[in-house]
C-alpha cells in the first residue's frame, strides 16, 4: 500500500496490527467496543506501549476522522513506532 502511495491505508493497517499485538500480549484487554483512544489510555498496558500505540492512533485519526491525507513521512513515523513496539531492540 505504501509503495503505491496509499499512506493512510498503510498506517491504518499498522494500527490494526498493533491492536492484534496488544491482544496477543495482554489477552482480554482489547474489547470490541473500545476505541483506539480507549486502548491507548488503558492502564493495563505498560506506559511505553500506551505511548507508542497512542502515537500511531493519533496519526491514523488525523486521516480517518480528520480527512487529512497522510504523507510518506507519516507512514514512516507509524512504521518506526510499530517496530519499536512490536520488535523491541530492532532498528527503526
C-alpha 11/C-alpha 32 separation (Å) is 20
Helix (H, G, I), strand (E, B) or coil at 79: helix
Segment-wise mean pLDDT, segments of 10 residues, the chain, 92 residues: 96 96 93 94 92 96 95 97 76 44
Q: State how far the alpha carbon of 7 is from the alpha carbons of 24, 25, 58, in Å.
A: 26, 27, 14
Phi, psi of 33 (to 5 degrees): -85, -10
- pTM for the model stands at 0.89
C-alpha 18/C-alpha 12 separation (Å) is 10
Listed by start position, the domains of the chain span 2-86
Amino acid at each position: 500500500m505504501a509503495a503505491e502511495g496509499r499512506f493512510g491505508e498503510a498506517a491504518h493497517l499498522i494500527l490494526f496490527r498493533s491492536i492484534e499485538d496488544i491482544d496477543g500480549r495482554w489477552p482480554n484487554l482489547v474489547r470490541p467496543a473500545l476505541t483506539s483512544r480507549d486502548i491507548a489510555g488503558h492502564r493495563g498496558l505498560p506506559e511505553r506501549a500506551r505511548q507508542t500505540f497512542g502515537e500511531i492512533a493519533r496519526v491514523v485519526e488525523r486521516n480517518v476522522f480528520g480527512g487529512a491525507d497522510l504523507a510518506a513521512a507519516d507512514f514512516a513515523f507509524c512504521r518506526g513506532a510499530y517496530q519499536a513496539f512490536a520488535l523491541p531492540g530492532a532498528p527503526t
